[in-house]
């Protein structure tokens, strides 16, 4: 199960937002290199004359884990989180788990508490599966959360249709819940086009058939993966506009390094999605060919990459 969660690591967030942080001794107008303190956040909010504290509201948070690493009780005791009576964990990440939890959810809740110190906080892990992620959204809404936020996305979430998570979000929004989700930092880091096939093309000694023309008759797209990344391998997703569970075309991704095939990944014949990873620090040429079925519009998207 491939998951990307974008948020501050729990330790980093705690050092910024914990009431025990030395940064809080800084002058009210000076934000240190570790970020704003809770008092500075509240001062900025008070300057807008909003006069709100979050009292009477409950905010739901979905992330990897809440207390996988321990320390939640200390946060509740020292004020980094509300008292335990105002914090409810509907479901935490099982321990042990692969990947392990980093308690980003608790870090998010510390930030919410800085902004809205009077609000109650509920948590539900989003790291079990897409289906359980969706169940968590509904559970938080049913528990009374008026605002729900997450920092999780699944690479296999559909690009061309609404998936189970999107359906759950739409359901709670129709009930009046405000839902906030991380958009990520990917923006235009990808490729989308109508299927424009080249009948036959040769790359090195490999012959491709019914392969996508990426422009000017080129059967490949160059992808540069820098060498200064946290993860040793970088994930990619290719999707096309056919329904999940009922594809009629079967695409295949062929990856070249110096005109030599280093990876071939074929669709599963059921879903319009191909997920693969590549080692960092190389320049690749990627081809997409249609093995069978009608021609589709592919959406090739690298989740962390540079084209």
Q: Which whole-number Å values give the CA distances from 100 to 17, 65, 103, 104, 289, in the listed order?
A: 23, 9, 9, 11, 36
**What pLDDT does 37 receive?**
74
Lowest-confidence segment of 13-17, 55-59, 266-270, 278-282 by average pLDDT: 13-17
Q: Is residue 230 part of a domain?
A: yes
Confidence check: pLDDT of 295 > 70? no
Q: What is the pTM of this model?
A: 0.78
Is residue 260 within 8 Å of residue 204, measured between CB atoms? yes
Is residue 119 within 8 Å of residue 55, measured between CB atoms? yes
Same domain, 214 and 173: no
pLDDT averaged over every residue in the chain = 83
Same domain, 129 and 206: no
Note the pLDDT tens digit of each residue in 201-210. Answer: 999 999 999 9
**What pLDDT does 31 receive?**
62
Is residue 120 within 8 Å of residue 76, measured between CB atoms? no
Domain boundary (132, 149, 181) is at: 181
**What pLDDT does 107 receive?**
96
**What pLDDT does 16 receive?**
23
**Which one is predicted more confidently, 58 or 190?**
58
Confidence check: pLDDT of 304 > 90? no
Confidence check: pLDDT of 178 > 60? yes
**Which one is predicted more confidently, 72 or 234?**
72
Cα separation, 240 vs 251, whole angstroms: 9
Contacts of 65 (CB under 8 A, 6+ apart): 92, 93, 101, 102, 103, 104, 105, 106, 125, 127
Same domain, 75 and 161: yes
Contacts of 96 (CB under 8 A, 6+ apart): none
**What pLDDT does 287 receive?**
97
Is residue 134 within 8 Å of residue 165, measured between CB atoms? yes
Note the pLDDT tens digit of each residue in 77-129. Answer: 999 999 999 999 999 999 999 989 999 999 999 999 988 999 999 999 999 99
**What pLDDT does 273 receive?**
93
Residue 153 domain boundaries: 3-181
Domain boundary (181, 213, 231) is at: 181
Here the CATH number for the domain that contains residue 173 is: 3.40.50
Domains of the chain: total: 2
Band of residue 152 on the pLDDT scale cut at 50, 70, 90 = very high
Same domain, 149 and 209: no
Q: Which whole-number Å values give the CA distances from 84 to 18, 81, 95, 112, 122, in the listed order?
A: 16, 8, 21, 15, 11
């Amino acid at each position: 199960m491939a998951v990307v969660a974008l948020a501050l690591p729990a330790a980093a967030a705690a050092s910024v937002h914990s009431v025990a942080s030395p940064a809080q001794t800084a002058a009210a107008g000076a934000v240190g290199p570790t970020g704003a303190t809770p008092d500075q956040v509240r001062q900025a909010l008070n300057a807008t004359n909003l006069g709100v504290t979050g009292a009477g509201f409950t905010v739901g948070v979905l992330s990897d884990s809440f207390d996988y690493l321990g320390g939640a009780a200390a946060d509740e005791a020292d004020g980094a989180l509300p008292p335990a009576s105002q914090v409810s964990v509907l479901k935490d990440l099982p321990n042990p788990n692969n990947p392990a939890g980093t308690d980003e959810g608790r870090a998010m809740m510390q930030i919410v508490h800085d902004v809205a110190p009077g609000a109650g906080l509920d948590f539900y892990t989003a790291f079990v599966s897409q289906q359980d992620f969706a169940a968590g959204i509904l559970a938080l809404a049913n528990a009374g959360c008026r605002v729900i936020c997450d920092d999780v996305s699944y690479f296999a979430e559909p690009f061309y249709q609404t998936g189970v998570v999107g359906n759950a979000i739409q359901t709670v929004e129709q009930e009046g819940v405000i839902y906030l989700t991380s958009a990520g930092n990917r923006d235009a880091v990808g490729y989308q086009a109508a299927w424009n096939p080249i009948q036959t093309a040769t790359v090195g000694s490999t012959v491709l058939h019914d392969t996508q023309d990426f422009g000017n008759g080129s059967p490949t797209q160059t992808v540069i993966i820098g060498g200064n990344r946290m993860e040793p391998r970088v994930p990619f997703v290719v999707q096309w506009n056919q329904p999940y569970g009922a594809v009629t075309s079967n695409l295949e991704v062929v990856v070249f390094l110096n005109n030599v095939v280093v990876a071939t990944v074929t669709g599963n014949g059921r879903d319009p999605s191909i997920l693969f990873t590549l080692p960092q620090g190389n320049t690749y040429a990627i081809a997409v060919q249609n093995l069978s079925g009608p021609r589709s519009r592919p959406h090739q998207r690298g989740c962390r990459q540079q084209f």
